A = this chain, B = another copy of it.
Amino acid sequence: MAATTIKDIAKRCGVGVSTVSRALNNHPDINPETREKIMKVIQETGFVPNDSARYLKRSESNSIALMVKGISNPFFTKMIRVIESFVQERGYTTILRHVDTGEDEVLSAQSLVKERRLKGIVFLGGNFIHDENALRQLGVPYIFSTIGNLEERANYVENGHKKVMAANIAVDDVDASRKAVEYLISLGHSNIGIITEGLHVPSVGQLRLKGYREALEAHKLPYREDYIYEVNEGVEHYSMPNGYKAANELLRRHPDLTALFCISDVLAIGACRAIAQHGLRIPEDVSVVGYDGIEEGEYYIPRLTTVRQPFREMAEATIQLLFDMIDKKCRPQNIIMPAELVVRESTGSGYRPEQQKKL
């Protein structure tokens, strides 16, 4: 039970430690028989090498880290899967790190770079802007994925010294949101509420709200602040209970609302439940549009109309760009992917005789 080391194994086999190391690491220059013998002892002993020591010694690693903030969001779960498979395809290893809400993902990444000799980093979710200095400290290529359009983010950074030029993969959140809301308007809706997040900090929430506002203004519809609900409770803001609470509140205050734009599917599902609870039907009484395009929306009843982020393509582009940066084949860049409005069953006509409502 006492910590077995490579030395113990060497002794038991009557060989030197380096030979054991060679056996362990599948080195070519070792007698097959010797290897056999050593492996057998390792099996019997149940010996497992100490990774700390290995990493400490190694100078390279062929691994990249995936720093995820908000792991309970199914959208990220999907991204993770796909990213992992692409990384593996390249013969690299993914180190998945779940970053807590209060934790600083860049700091954790720094730690990992040193510890595991990372080749690169992918940030999934999390803060919109970061300390440039800390970012530079990382010393390896990094990329932000699905956490907002850099062009927009750059605006926030100009206050500081210079524009950041960080690698970034995202959809055009403003544009996609505008189109979603315009679709609602085309259906005849004019009283459209929005359930959003992060109103007062740089975030995708702000971007998506901006799109909502643009759509309204383009169609000469009033932009009313009381039609906006900002969720801000719980460990994770993007949650069904938050969507539920938001829609409840909105519906109570504004019975005239006929459509709700939610900046994530999870929020939208919570909202749908609230609508049903109010005795209203979807989409006959209230239409709902989500954002992300998670599987859950497809299986919901009614199937959710949503802005789909092409997670597979985004994951692929993320890895492609990261590896190009690692191979010094290109500099950081900002890639915008097309988001797609997927019309399903949760949206319907906004034209209706007043009395038909509350049927």
| Residues of chain A at the chain B interface (Cβ within 8 Å) | 1, 3, 46, 48-53, 55-56, 71-72, 74, 77, 81, 96, 98, 107, 110-111, 114-116, 133-134, 137, 139, 235, 240-241, 244, 269-270, 272-273, 276, 282, 295-296, 298-303
> Which 3 pairs from chain A and chain B are nearest by CB?
A46-B137, A52-B56, A51-B115
| Complex interface: chain B residues within 8 A of A107 (CB) | 48
Chain B, Cβ-Cβ closest to A274: B299
Integer count of this chain's copies in the complex: 2
Q: Is the CB of A299 within 8 A of B52?
A: no
| Complex interface: chain B residues within 8 A of A134 (CB) | 46
Chain B, Cβ-Cβ closest to A44: B133
Complexed CA–CA distance, A72 and B77 (Å): 6
Contact sample, A vs B, 13 pairs, CB 8 Å cutoff: A46-B137, A48-B107, A48-B111, A50-B56, A56-B56, A71-B71, A240-B298, A269-B299, A270-B299, A272-B301, A276-B301, A282-B301, A296-B296
Q: Is the CB of B296 within 8 A of A240?
A: yes
| Complex interface: chain B residues within 8 A of A298 (CB) | 240, 273
Q: Is the CB of A77 within 8 A of B81?
A: no
Complexed CA–CA distance, A81 and B50 (Å): 28
Complexed CA–CA distance, A111 and B303 (Å): 44
Complexed CA–CA distance, A114 and B47 (Å): 10
Q: Is the CB of B51 within 8 A of A299?
A: no
Chain B, Cβ-Cβ closest to A134: B46
With a 10 A CB-CB cut-off, give which of A49, A56, A96, A235 has the most chain B CB atoms: A56
With a 10 A CB-CB cut-off, give which of A1, A53, A114, A296 has the most chain B CB atoms: A114
Q: Is the CB of B240 within 8 A of A299?
A: yes
State the main secondary structure of chain A at its contact with B. helix
Chain B, Cβ-Cβ closest to A73: B77
Nearest Cβ on chain B to A283's Cβ, whole angstroms: 13
| Complex interface: chain B residues within 8 A of A133 (CB) | 46
| Complex interface: chain B residues within 8 A of A48 (CB) | 107, 110-111, 114, 137
Chain B, Cβ-Cβ closest to A271: B299
Q: Is the CB of B273 within 8 A of A139?
A: no
Chain B, Cβ-Cβ closest to A81: B235
Complexed CA–CA distance, A249 and B298 (Å): 19
Q: Is the CB of A241 within 8 A of B71?
A: no
**Known: A1-B139, A46-B134. Contact between A272 and B244, CB under 8 A?**
no
Complexed CA–CA distance, A235 and B77 (Å): 13
Which listed residue, B53, B98, B244, touches A299 by the CB 8 Å rule? Answer: B244
Nearest Cβ on chain B to A9's Cβ, whole angstroms: 13
| Complex interface: chain B residues within 8 A of A110 (CB) | 46, 48
| Complex interface: chain B residues within 8 A of A269 (CB) | 296, 299
Contacts A240-B296, A240-B299, A270-B299 known; list 6 others, CB within 8 Å. A48-B111, A51-B115, A52-B52, A240-B295, A272-B301, A273-B303
Complexed CA–CA distance, A74 and B296 (Å): 12
| Complex interface: chain B residues within 8 A of A270 (CB) | 299
Q: Is the CB of A50 within 8 A of B114?
A: yes
